[in-house]
Chains A and B, each alone.
Chain A
């Protein structure tokens, strides 16, 4: 298995633009998680899905953030409009039930200028 695949690896965009981050989880994993990592706040859980259904989106910072999982093999995290304070590394992870541990992707480094 190729692991959790995220794209793009790097994204530089101007303030106000729409940004879409993509994730392909490991086949057979029921759970998908979106995290944001910054030096100041560490690893923050934004949202997670179970069997393609959003379970907890309490970590989504604002209405500018939205996430979808149209099928078991694909998820997107969208920021519209983007702001400089959204600059961070965004990770996607997938797992069987959490007790089995997460597998993280390599992340998308987002820079909003």
Chain B
């Protein structure tokens, strides 16, 4: 019940395309859903986050869509750029408890 399932494991997108990464969870007590971006040799960095009282949050080219009834949330990267090539992790937490991370998606954006 504590798991966060992430897909796909890897994703190849052409420059200018839309990248979509999906996550699903079981614990209905989760109330915070962040996405982290990790470049090679670096630690994960917070990209964008959402709470379950809204269905969508947008920051620049990055959008989180949240479906509370389906217990799913996704990251959309519009106009994907080669500089977006990185590993992306979804995560979830219950109140102020520890974050539970998904298994990661390696995104490659080709020119």
Contact = CB atoms under 8 A, between A and B. Distances in A.
A30 B46 CA distance: 18
B46 A98 contact: no
- Chain A, interface size category, equals 10 to 19
Contacts of B44: 43, 91, 102, 104
B34 A101 contact: yes
Contacts of B89: 43
Contacts of B32: 98-99
6 contacts: A97-B96, A98-B32, A98-B96, A102-B99, A105-B43, A106-B41
Q: Which 10 A-B pairs have the closest CB atoms?
A: A104-B43, A97-B96, A101-B46, A42-B103, A43-B101, A98-B93, A99-B32, A104-B44, A91-B43, A98-B96
Interface of A: 4, 33, 42-43, 45, 48, 56, 91, 93, 97-99, 101-107
